[in-house]
Homo-oligomer: A and B are copies of this chain.
Amino acid sequence: MRRDRSQDGINRRSLLATLVLLPTLPETLVPAAAQTEAPGGLLPSWREGPAKQAIFDFVHATTEQSSPTYVAPDDRVAVFDQDGTLWVEQPMYTQVAYCLERIPAVAAKKPELRSIEPFKTVLSGNREAIAKLSLRDLEKILVATLTGMPVEEFQSEVSRWLETARHPRWNRPYTELIFHPMQEVLRYLQSNAFKTYIVTGGGQDFARVYAAKVYGIPPEQVVGTAGTTKFGYGRDGKPFLTKEPKLLLNDDKAGKVEGIYFMIGRRPIAAFGNSVGDREMLEYTRAGQGARLAMLVLHDDASREYVYGPATGLPDSKIGTFTPMLYDEARKQGWTVISMKNDWNRIFAFDV
């Protein structure tokens, strides 16, 4: 787990008090208790304003025992979309970058792919042509790079890739392109006994490889799009699982709510998203009784990150469709919009 200054924003005394009061303890409480308060207080990367205030108000409303909307620690479930909410999703989803960059290794093992589309185009390195690949082409690329291998092999391939791959704009590992203010929210909720989950339209297996290290979220708290696996025995007689090209959970839009029910079994009380893929999850979270927090990240900072979605004033951008319609719904439903430009004084941990 990365340990930098802003993760230290925990009030030690209130934590000790919490230790005494709580019937159960959050998993991350002990590391948090060892932290001392950072100079900026809690959520130091957040500027004062309605977004920061909404987070504080919600945590007070749900964790102070005198509050009429107090929630027992066991029921404090918070869900976070990943791409565009916890880390950068432009110019393409990180997992898609992984799949494209894996193609040479896959083709080295199966040379017959070199002359077949879409692999031929990917191997050509022609970015324009690659950008024009169809959804069906992309599906073939995903199947070739995400399935057919034992689960442990996939995990080590992703780990190795994450160490060497670099984002084209910042020339840094993808795992450094986490939105630092969201890391602070994760830590803040975790230190208040919330169980934090990633609920991603991306691959569950992919995100599980780095979620513990990068977000402090263990594999079982990552819900994502997932395929089936097949049990079998190796030559050594030992059982192992192979990743199959058959969809088990399509964790997007309504599928996120179905995935939450299936994997978590209860309704979250806080949800964070940034696109139409998160709409139903936000609605479902808000539809429960009591204090609820629903937040949408608005990408409106061209100089520090990107501008897309409603911030452009244009119709849907290709990725992370936070549409004008969703923006309207957010206002009507009382979801809080987070302006990256105005609400965050820092985007990444490496920003100074």
Per DSSP, chain A at the interface is mixed
A289 to chain B, nearest CB (A): 11
A117 at the interface (CB under 8 A from B): no
A226 to chain B, nearest CB (A): 6
A287 at the interface (CB under 8 A from B): yes
Q: Which of A50-58, A62-70, A212-220, A319-327 contacts B (4 or more CB under 8 A)?
A: A212-220
Q: For chain A, which range describes its interface: under 10, 10 to 19, 20 to 34, or 35 or more residues? A: 35 or more
A179 to B284, CA, bound (A): 38
Which residues in B have their C-beta under 8 angstroms from that of A263?
Answer: 220, 263
Contacts A229-B261, A265-B208 known; A280 to B239 CB distance under 8 Å? yes
A262 at the interface (CB under 8 A from B): yes
Would you give the 0/1 interface string for A321-343, flagging 1 where the beta carbon is closer than 8 Å to chain B?
00000000000000000000000
A151 at the interface (CB under 8 A from B): yes
Closest to A279 in B: B239
Closest to A208 in B: B265
A31 at the interface (CB under 8 A from B): yes
Q: Quick check: A219 and B257 within 8 Å, CB to CB?
A: no
Q: List 17 A-B contacts (CB under 8 A).
A: A24-B28, A24-B30, A25-B25, A27-B74, A74-B218, A151-B261, A205-B265, A208-B265, A220-B264, A220-B265, A229-B258, A230-B258, A231-B284, A239-B257, A240-B287, A241-B261, A263-B263
Seen from chain A, the residues whose Cβ lies within 8 Å of a Cβ on chain B are: 22-31, 74, 151, 195, 204-205, 208, 212, 218-220, 222, 226, 228-231, 238-241, 248-249, 254-255, 257-258, 261-266, 280, 283-284, 287
